[in-house]
Amino acid sequence: MPNRLAQETSPYLQQHSENPVDWYAWGHEAVALARATDRPILLSIGYSACHWCHVMAHESFEDAEVAAVMNRLYVNVKVDREERPDLDQIYQSAHHLLTRRAGGWPLTLFLTPDGTPFFAGTYFPKTPRYNLPGFVDLLERVAGAYARKRGEIDQQNQALRDALAGEPENVEHSPAALSSAPGDVLFRLLESSFDPQWGGFGGAPKFPHPGDLAFLLRRHIASGDPRARQMVLTTLDRMAAGGLYDHLGGGFSRYSVDGQWMIPHFEKMLYDNGPLLALYAEAAVLTGAPRYRQVAGETAAWVMREMQSPQGGYFSSLDADSEGEEGKFYVWAAGEVEALLSAAEFAVVSRHYGLDQPANFEGRHWHLRVATDLQQIADRAGLGLAECKHRLACARAKLAEARERRVRPARDDKILTSWNALMIAGMARAGMLLARPDWVDSARRASDFLRRTLWQGGRLLATCKDGRAHLNAYLDDYAFLLNAQLELLQADFRAEDIDWAIALADVLLDQFEDPDRGGFFFTSHDHESLIARPKPAHDNATPSGNAVAAYALQRLGHLVGEPRYLDAAARCLAAFFGMAQRAPGGFATFAIALEEHLRPPTSIVLRGPAGEVAQWHARLLSRLRPATLVIPVAENRLPLPAPLDHPYSETVNAWVCKGVSCMPPVTDRAELERICSAPDIG
């Protein structure tokens, strides 16, 4: 019989609905039972695309003997970290405090009935191995300790709660004292950890870190620093050539298990691909190199083909596993590729993707990555480059068609507001920069879905599946979606997007801001009470909600002339300035927001006939200026906020403002381009 999880919206929880474990979702029912029976809570946190979550489920949660022990000794609670990032943040921090080790998924914690963890770990095997205890033995030992050592546990719990509630020591700064120092220190840190051969930062496992790359790209554009440019382009080149990138289907996996981007952990996440899509589009505009445009195009095509629902919202992720094996959908066995291609095609493909070298996945399969440049293959074979490209294109089409006949990895089809916002921003920006209205339309459909389905009663909900939207939204939902609206305004102006942006900003200030110390809590003031209330400042797998809130609020504040937004952004930056200056790792998005605070963005509002406005808009976008907002209002005659409500005329007028200083309208496009070429413009 299915357990309680069958009624949940999370595909991850539903994956466990047939377990013999008497699972509860997080909520009052489980807590009440734990208190009534004086049993500890076993809390298991994971997500549907997580390989080791699947392993632990198969080994332990699907095993009747293990489940019997769990059900006898514990109240068992399963949480999807993607639906409940509030719980995941708190309990990952608690894991670190208890173990002094990094966490991850699956996260396994043992809680007293009030929700405080007293023992923590990640993956545990059913029987002892990997220097880890067997799960059944661990269950018995932890339950025994809970029964015999209650006083010690209570003491530890109080210390843990105090540690979770305490904020890091941070020197108070006034907004007037802010400087570019954190960005300068961050640049030196990134430069010292940069891998000049393979790109990226640090060694294995290697993550894309799009926030760091966005910071470096803006640093290069603002200052001309060639080191920043090299770090960005080398990393983008190496990632796109490596196995992190799906050479047949487009899109990037979450991370590489090695330092060369060769073998990924094969899950594909929506949240990575949105920012990466924007970065490759920006690199295409910056350099004119067609390879960046190709990667952006293939990634956008994958998102629209496999990750966008018919109703418009974007799905969350693709699993790493299929048929119970990690990467099985993506890798190739010996002779398999050769059998599908002509001899001429295989001669190119085998060298280009490294099939003429030893197997690179588990010693017996090949995962495609660029091993030899096409020009080198053409030169050595005496072929023209165009012919090599043609053979490769034909081969890729055949391989993609054959791969589609395989059993596909499972797709987590819940729609998360925050992750959708990251993709909306990336798709809108890339579509605008590369003149792809179909990408902008994709972003628009997703945004409209969120407004129609997850914006209820003037508040956001966090998640939706099969038309059922629920869960109070978090800081990231509001901050990321506010930023996404600002990107859509530049790509496809609609007056109602300004209205929604203002509404989102107002909720940020009313429900999330810390009025005493500045910055924004991760949960709203009316959220359920948990054992801690984080106010996160660092970029992690996704950008910092506080940094994005500051960045978007100050942009909106300048656009609509609202000092409340500018002041809240400044307070947020001041709250975390000392922390960012002392330890800048993970503060890339914060540094971007700080630099726009110190050097306010330029906004250019174009008004006039739609066709001419589109031409001016495209011309301005041909020179990459991330710190410039170009708003193509065109023939819109609806009432707009005062700074945008410029008079309409039969010829194009450009209204240029930097911060709170505005110039007279510009009616000559060459003059506008001259103004925009000035070093003090974005």
Would you say residue 169 has pLDDT above 60? Answer: no
Domains (range + CATH), the chain = 4-165 (3.40.30.10), 178-197+276-314+414-598 (1.50.10.10), 330-405 (1.10.10), 602-676 (no CATH)
Segment 651-656 mean pLDDT: 92
Cα distance between residue 376 and residue 171, in whole Å: 56
CA 212 to each of CA 184, 191, 209, 537, 541: distance values in angstroms, whole numbers, following the listed order: 13, 11, 6, 15, 12
Q: What is the pLDDT of residues 227-286, one digit of tens each?
A: 999 999 999 999 999 999 999 999 999 999 999 999 999 999 999 999 999 999 999 999
Would you say residue 172 has pLDDT above 60? Answer: no
- pLDDT value of position 7: 93
Q: Among candidates 29, 26, 153, 28, which has minimal Cα distance to 91?
A: 26
Of the candidate ranges 1-10, 321-330, 557-566, 670-679, the one whose mean pLDDT is the lowest: 670-679
DSSP state of 307: I
Q: Is the pTM of this model over 0.85?
A: yes
Do 614 and 435 form a contact (C-beta atoms < 8 A)?
A: no
- pLDDT value of position 648: 79
Q: Among candidates 163, 139, 74, 141, which has minimal Cα distance to 113?
A: 74
- pLDDT value of position 677: 82
173: confidence class by pLDDT, cuts 50, 70, 90? low
Would you say residue 661 has pLDDT above 90? Answer: no
Segment 133-151 mean pLDDT: 96
Of the candidate ranges 62-71, 264-273, 514-523, 637-646, the one whose mean pLDDT is the lowest: 637-646
CA 666 to each of CA 426, 427, 610, 673: distance values in angstroms, whole numbers, following the listed order: 30, 30, 17, 10
CA 466 to each of CA 9, 410, 419, 667: distance values in angstroms, whole numbers, following the listed order: 8, 16, 17, 50
Which three-class secondary structure state does DSSP give residue 188?
A: helix
CB atoms within 10 A of CB 343: 7
Segment 401-409 mean pLDDT: 97
Do 594 and 183 form a contact (C-beta atoms < 8 A)?
A: yes
pLDDT above 70 as % of the chain: 98
Which three-class secondary structure state does DSSP give residue 146?
A: helix
SS (H, E, C) 602-618: EEEEEECCHHHHHHHHH
Would you say residue 171 has pLDDT above 90? Answer: no
Mean pLDDT (the chain, rounded):
94
- pLDDT value of position 679: 72
Specify the amino acid at residue 270. L
- pLDDT value of position 112: 97
676: confidence class by pLDDT, cuts 50, 70, 90? confident
636: confidence class by pLDDT, cuts 50, 70, 90? low
List own/partner pairs for 348-357 with CB under 8 A and 24 or more apart.
Answer: 348/374, 348/377, 348/381, 348/388, 348/391, 348/392, 348/395, 349/391, 349/392, 349/395, 349/399, 351/377, 352/377, 352/392, 353/247
CB atoms within 10 A of CB 323: 10
SS (H, E, C) 538-585: CCCCCCCHHHHHHHHHHHHHHHHCCHHHHHHHHHHHHHHHHHHHHCCC
Segment 324-342 mean pLDDT: 95
Residue with tokens 């030196």: 188
Buried b or exposed e, range 509-542, using 16+ CB within 10 angstroms: bebbbbeeebbbbbbbeebeebbbbbbbbbbeeb
Which three-class secondary structure state does DSSP give residue 154?
A: helix
Q: What is the pLDDT of residues 68-84, one digit of tens each?
A: 999 999 999 999 999 99
Q: What is the pLDDT of residues 528-547, one digit of tens each?
A: 999 999 999 999 999 999 99
**H helices present in 174-269, as ranges:** 181-193, 210-223, 226-241
- pLDDT value of position 682: 59
Q: What values do phi and psi take at 632, rounded to 5?
A: -85, 80
Segment 135-152 mean pLDDT: 96
Segment 313-330 mean pLDDT: 96
- pLDDT value of position 662: 85
DSSP string, 376-427: HHHHHHT--HHHHHHHHHHHHHHHHHHHTTSPPPPEE--EEHHHHHHHHHHH
CB atoms within 10 A of CB 493: 21
Residues comprising the chain, all counted: 682
Q: What is the pLDDT of residues 456-491, one digit of tens each?
A: 999 999 999 998 999 999 999 999 999 999 999 999
Q: Among candidates 359, 337, 365, which has minimal Cα distance to 350?
A: 337
Cα distance between residue 121 and residue 549, in whole Å: 32
Q: Among candidates 475, 481, 577, 591, which has minimal Cα distance to 213?
A: 591
